[in-house]
Amino acid sequence: MNSQAGMETPLTQYIKGNGASLGLKEYEAIGGYTALKKVLQSMTPAELQQLVMDSKLKGRGGAGFSTGTKWSLVPMGPEAPKRKYLIANADEMEPGTFKDRLLLEGNPHQLIEGMILAAYAIQADISYIFLRWAYRSAAVLLKKCLEEAYAAGYLGQHIAGSDYKLELYLHTGVGRYICGEETALLNALEGKRATPRAKPPFPQISGLFGKPTIVNNVETLSCIPHIVNNGATWFRNLSSSEDSGTKIYGVSGKVRNPGAWELPMGTTIRELLEEHAGGMLPGYQLKGILPGGASTDFLTGDHLDIKMDFAAVAAAGSRLGTGTMIVMDDKTCPVGMVHNLQHFFAQESCGWCTPCREGIPWVEKILWSIEQGAGRKEDLELLDMHTKFLGPGNTFCALAPGAMEPLQSALKYFRPEFEKHIEQKKCPYANHTH
């Protein structure tokens, strides 16, 4: 992780380069928990909600929904249910994505403070961190930091001398990719099978155990203390696009300097790839980019000057997603790469709806057949058909439509590669990687 000199990087500026985590004393020394004290002393929940609304913070988990709007849908006032929940979605299982891990391991107290503030804004009294099972180092650090926060009076009864109280628990999930979907996450927290719920009702009205619940991403919550300390206008001005704030972008693949960087929202693909990731490794050329993780549509070298924000990437035919690019080089077989992705999605389907449960494994088998030289011309028509039948509106949640995005875009941009496999009855890449 690094950042550009002179640029404001509120989320990562104090994260150490040696992998060590900030403890409570270090966090307090850089202004940690001052936002919490400020809010508890001088702001109502409604005022905090309005501040976040004014900041135009959008969710950093992939959907890009307005955080303030999401909070505003929770019932408030004396007639509202007494129990409400605030949950941090730390189930980071999108292939190619590692931004939340950076925050969880580098500065856990930043997340905890953001969660307390978010919980106060909706008047929640119980909060959970739903952590990916594989993030074992983060689990150890979070447990230690939670103990520190309780001991310092930032959690529990009468937080920082106020009348506000909050219990915060760490829950290490044992589920799979589907647990990143907020309603499947809620079912998992309740001890049920991790399958998505029908919406409406939305979690803001009936979520965990039937009570009003907000689920926010780790990066989203980590922004809240900085918005409180510096103001909505400051946060909006950090960006170079219509979307406000900074964004932790990532690049993986055959580049000189793979990694993650906190940069202004709207940084171009070209800047990310050429300046921060150092360009392609010697002997490799750029062929395609998944701009926001494995469940986004491919973009190509023609899209390098696209701004990495929600609207611009959508206009180019893909999604910003998590903002972590996977770069495909000219020596990687597109068919093999897409097959590898479909293998992942087929494994991770919860099996709740038929199109996803049956369709993705079929897609995987077709791609494997093409890759092995046994493909037929009509297989491309079958793949095209699946991208429509498993698309938005035809499945219970967004897993299958997300799985179809790299496939449909690969068929659009790299169709000659698929045809060559079928015509030559083999993969034309002698030493390709998947």
> Do 345 and 360 touch, CB atoms closer than 8 A?
yes
Contacts of 337 (CB under 8 A, 6+ apart): 328, 410, 434
What is the distance in angstroms between the CA of the first residue and the CA of the last residue of the chain?
A: 26
Q: Report the distance separating Cα 129 and Cα 150, nearest Å.
A: 15
Q: Report the distance separating Cα 208 and Cα 306, nearest Å.
A: 39
Asked whether the domain spanning 334-424 has the same topology as the one spanning 24-233, the reply is no
Q: Give the tokens for residue 188.
A: 């998992």
Q: Report the distance separating Cα 85 and Cα 434, nearest Å.
A: 41
If one counts every other C-beta atom within 10 angstroms of the C-beta of residue 20, the result is: 11
Confidence (pLDDT) at 4: 46
Q: Report the distance separating Cα 269 and Cα 416, nearest Å.
A: 25
> Do 344 and 178 touch, CB atoms closer than 8 A?
no
Residue 355 has pLDDT above 50, yes or no: yes
CATH for 334-424? 1.20.1440.230
- The values of phi and psi at residue 290, to 5°, are -95, 105
Question: What topology is assigned to 246-329 in CATH?
Answer: Ubiquitin-like (UB roll) (3.10.20)
Closest CA to 117 of 158, 174, 163, 164: 164
- For residue 5, what pLDDT band results from cuts at 50, 70 and 90? very low
- For residue 173, what pLDDT band results from cuts at 50, 70 and 90? confident
Q: Report the distance separating Cα 297 and Cα 346, nearest Å.
A: 18
Q: Percent helix, strand and coil across the chain, each rounded to 5?
A: 45, 15, 40
Contacts of 393 (CB under 8 A, 6+ apart): none
> Do 296 and 258 touch, CB atoms closer than 8 A?
no
Residue 2 has pLDDT above 60, yes or no: no
Confidence (pLDDT) at 17: 80
- The values of phi and psi at residue 302, to 5°, are -75, -10
Architecture of domain 24-233: 3-Layer(aba) Sandwich (3.40)
Residue 7 has pLDDT above 70, yes or no: no
Beta bridge partners of 327: 289
Q: Please give the torsion angle defined by the CA atoms of residues 258, 260, 262 and 265, in that order, rounded to the nearest 10 degrees.
A: 80
> Do 189 and 208 touch, CB atoms closer than 8 A?
yes
Q: Give the tokens for residue 389.
A: 């039948």
Tens of pLDDT along 311-320?
Answer: 999 999 999 9
Confidence (pLDDT) at 431: 58
The pLDDT > 90 percentage for the chain reads: 93
- Round the CA-based radius of gyration of the chain to a whole number and report it: 22
| β-pairing verdict for 286-290 and 324-329 | antiparallel
Tens of pLDDT along 64-122?
Answer: 899 999 999 999 999 999 999 999 999 999 999 999 999 999 999 999 999 999 999 99
Q: Which of 60-69, 136-145, 367-376 has the least mean pLDDT? A: 60-69
Q: Report the distance separating Cα 244 and Cα 224, nearest Å.
A: 13
- Verify cis geometry, omega within 30 degrees of 0, for the bond prior to 81: no
Domain residues of the chain, as ranges? 24-233, 246-329, 334-424
Residue 404 has pLDDT above 50, yes or no: yes
> Do 280 and 254 touch, CB atoms closer than 8 A?
yes
- For residue 432, what pLDDT band results from cuts at 50, 70 and 90? low
If one counts every other C-beta atom within 10 angstroms of the C-beta of residue 63, the result is: 15
Q: Report the distance separating Cα 149 and Cα 339, nearest Å.
A: 45
Confidence (pLDDT) at 176: 85
Q: Give the tokens for residue 277.
A: 């990731």
DSSP secondary structure string, 227-267?
Answer: HHHH-HHHHHHT-SSSS-SEEEEEEESSBSS-EEEEEETT-
- The values of phi and psi at residue 289, to 5°, are -135, 130
If one counts every other C-beta atom within 10 angstroms of the C-beta of residue 169, the result is: 11
Confidence (pLDDT) at 19: 80
Tens of pLDDT along 263-305?
Answer: 999 999 999 999 999 999 999 999 999 999 999 999 999 999 9
Coil, helix or strand at residue 216: strand
Q: Rounded mean pLDDT of 152-170?
A: 97
CA angle, 335 then 341 then 345, to 5°: 140
Q: Report the distance separating Cα 338 and Cα 202, nearest Å.
A: 33
Q: Report the distance separating Cα 236 and Cα 206, nearest Å.
A: 31
Question: Based on the number of CB atoms within 10 Å of its own CB, is 26 exposed (0-12), middle (13-18) or buried (19 or more)?
Answer: middle
Average pLDDT, whole number, for the chain? 94
pTM, rounded to two decimals: 0.94
